[in-house]
Amino acid sequence: MEHFSVLLVDDEAELVYTLAERLVIRGCDAAAATSSGDALKILAEKKFDVVVLDVKMPGMSGIELMRAIKKTNPQIKIILQTGRGSIEESKEGIREGAFDYLVKPVQIDDLIKKMKQALGKPS
Protein backbone atom coordinates (compact mmCIF):
# COMPACT_ATOMS: atom_id res chain seq x y z
CA MET A 1 0.00 0.00 0.00
CA GLU A 2 1.24 3.48 -0.88
CA HIS A 3 0.94 6.24 1.70
CA PHE A 4 1.08 9.60 0.01
CA SER A 5 -1.36 12.07 -1.49
CA VAL A 6 -1.48 12.94 -5.16
CA LEU A 7 -3.51 15.32 -7.28
CA LEU A 8 -3.88 14.31 -10.94
CA VAL A 9 -4.67 17.01 -13.50
CA ASP A 10 -5.69 16.25 -17.09
CA ASP A 11 -8.48 17.56 -19.32
CA GLU A 12 -9.34 13.98 -20.40
CA ALA A 13 -11.86 13.27 -17.62
CA GLU A 14 -12.13 9.49 -18.10
CA LEU A 15 -8.35 9.17 -18.05
CA VAL A 16 -7.74 11.20 -14.92
CA TYR A 17 -10.64 9.76 -12.87
CA THR A 18 -9.78 6.16 -13.79
CA LEU A 19 -6.12 6.68 -12.90
CA ALA A 20 -7.16 8.24 -9.56
CA GLU A 21 -9.43 5.24 -8.90
CA ARG A 22 -6.58 2.82 -9.55
CA LEU A 23 -4.23 4.74 -7.27
CA VAL A 24 -6.87 4.69 -4.51
CA ILE A 25 -7.10 0.88 -4.91
CA ARG A 26 -3.32 0.85 -4.26
CA GLY A 27 -3.75 2.88 -1.07
CA CYS A 28 -2.86 6.35 -2.35
CA ASP A 29 -4.88 9.37 -1.30
CA ALA A 30 -5.63 10.41 -4.90
CA ALA A 31 -7.81 13.22 -6.23
CA ALA A 32 -8.42 14.40 -9.79
CA ALA A 33 -9.06 17.69 -11.59
CA THR A 34 -9.92 18.24 -15.26
CA SER A 35 -8.68 21.83 -15.55
CA SER A 36 -5.96 24.05 -14.14
CA GLY A 37 -8.60 26.22 -12.46
CA ASP A 38 -10.15 23.23 -10.66
CA ALA A 39 -6.69 22.02 -9.65
CA LEU A 40 -5.86 25.37 -8.03
CA LYS A 41 -9.19 25.34 -6.15
CA ILE A 42 -8.51 21.83 -4.80
CA LEU A 43 -4.94 22.78 -3.84
CA ALA A 44 -6.23 25.82 -1.96
CA GLU A 45 -8.31 23.52 0.25
CA LYS A 46 -6.03 20.52 0.69
CA LYS A 47 -2.32 19.77 0.79
CA PHE A 48 -0.84 17.14 -1.53
CA ASP A 49 2.59 15.52 -1.65
CA VAL A 50 2.66 15.23 -5.44
CA VAL A 51 0.86 16.80 -8.40
CA VAL A 52 0.88 14.90 -11.70
CA LEU A 53 -0.22 17.18 -14.51
CA ASP A 54 -0.69 17.10 -18.26
CA VAL A 55 1.51 19.57 -20.13
CA LYS A 56 -1.11 20.38 -22.80
CA MET A 57 -4.37 21.62 -21.33
CA PRO A 58 -6.94 24.17 -22.51
CA GLY A 59 -6.69 27.61 -20.96
CA MET A 60 -3.82 27.67 -18.47
CA SER A 61 -1.25 25.14 -19.74
CA GLY A 62 0.41 22.54 -17.55
CA ILE A 63 3.63 24.55 -17.35
CA GLU A 64 1.70 27.69 -16.34
CA LEU A 65 -0.16 25.67 -13.71
CA MET A 66 3.14 24.33 -12.38
CA ARG A 67 4.47 27.89 -12.01
CA ALA A 68 1.29 28.91 -10.15
CA ILE A 69 1.54 25.90 -7.81
CA LYS A 70 5.25 26.47 -7.14
CA LYS A 71 4.54 30.09 -6.15
CA THR A 72 2.28 29.10 -3.27
CA ASN A 73 3.45 25.53 -2.60
CA PRO A 74 7.15 25.34 -3.50
CA GLN A 75 7.56 22.04 -1.62
CA ILE A 76 5.06 20.10 -3.75
CA LYS A 77 6.67 17.64 -6.14
CA ILE A 78 5.47 18.02 -9.71
CA ILE A 79 5.54 15.25 -12.31
CA LEU A 80 4.57 16.14 -15.87
CA GLN A 81 2.67 13.89 -18.26
CA THR A 82 3.11 14.51 -21.93
CA GLY A 83 2.30 13.24 -25.40
CA ARG A 84 5.20 12.64 -27.76
CA GLY A 85 4.76 16.08 -29.30
CA SER A 86 5.36 17.98 -26.06
CA ILE A 87 8.60 16.45 -24.79
CA GLU A 88 10.54 19.71 -25.30
CA GLU A 89 8.00 21.58 -23.18
CA SER A 90 8.38 18.93 -20.49
CA LYS A 91 12.16 19.37 -20.48
CA GLU A 92 11.57 23.09 -20.06
CA GLY A 93 9.26 22.19 -17.15
CA ILE A 94 12.07 20.25 -15.48
CA ARG A 95 14.35 23.29 -15.83
CA GLU A 96 11.61 25.28 -14.07
CA GLY A 97 11.29 22.88 -11.16
CA ALA A 98 9.32 19.79 -12.18
CA PHE A 99 10.78 16.56 -10.76
CA ASP A 100 10.48 14.64 -14.02
CA TYR A 101 8.14 13.78 -16.88
CA LEU A 102 6.45 10.64 -18.19
CA VAL A 103 5.25 10.01 -21.74
CA LYS A 104 1.61 8.90 -22.16
CA PRO A 105 0.29 6.22 -22.02
CA VAL A 106 1.83 5.83 -18.57
CA GLN A 107 2.00 2.46 -16.80
CA ILE A 108 0.73 2.81 -13.24
CA ASP A 109 3.73 1.03 -11.72
CA ASP A 110 6.08 3.47 -13.48
CA LEU A 111 4.03 6.39 -12.17
CA ILE A 112 4.10 5.08 -8.59
CA LYS A 113 7.85 4.47 -8.87
CA LYS A 114 8.37 8.02 -10.15
CA MET A 115 6.24 9.51 -7.36
CA LYS A 116 8.21 7.55 -4.75
CA GLN A 117 11.48 8.80 -6.26
CA ALA A 118 10.17 12.36 -6.11
CA LEU A 119 9.30 11.91 -2.41
CA GLY A 120 12.57 10.17 -1.59
CA LYS A 121 10.78 6.93 -0.65
CA PRO A 122 12.27 3.50 -1.41
CA SER A 123 10.68 2.09 -4.59
Partner 1 sequence: MNEMREDKGLAFFGRVTASVSHEMNNVLAIVNELAGLVNDLLYGLKQGDDNGLERLGQAAEGIQKQIRRGEEIVKRMNRFAHSVDDPISEFDLHVVIADMAAMAQRRAALKGVRFETMLCQEPIMITGVRFEIQRLAFAGFELASSALAGGGTVSIASRRLENLAEISITAAAWKENGDVLKMKSELSADMRRLNGTLFWELGTAINFPLVLSFPIALSVEKRGQ
| Interface positions with partner 1 (CB under 8 A) | 11-12, 14-15, 18-19, 21-22, 25, 56-59, 61, 83-85, 104-108
Query: Which is nearer to partner 1, 11 or 100 (by Cβ)?
Result: 11
Residue 20 amino acid letter: A
**Residue 111 CB, nearest approach to partner 1 (Å):** 11
DSSP per-residue letters across 40-84: HHHHHHS--SEEEEES--SSS-HHHHHHHHHHH-TTSEEEEEE-G
Query: Which is nearer to partner 1, 18 or 72 (by Cβ)?
Result: 18
**Residue 49 CB, nearest approach to partner 1 (Å):** 21
Counting Cα atoms < 13 Å in the Cβ hemisphere of 72 gives 11
Query: Which is nearer to partner 1, 54 or 76 (by Cβ)?
Result: 54
**Residue 120 CB, nearest approach to partner 1 (Å):** 26
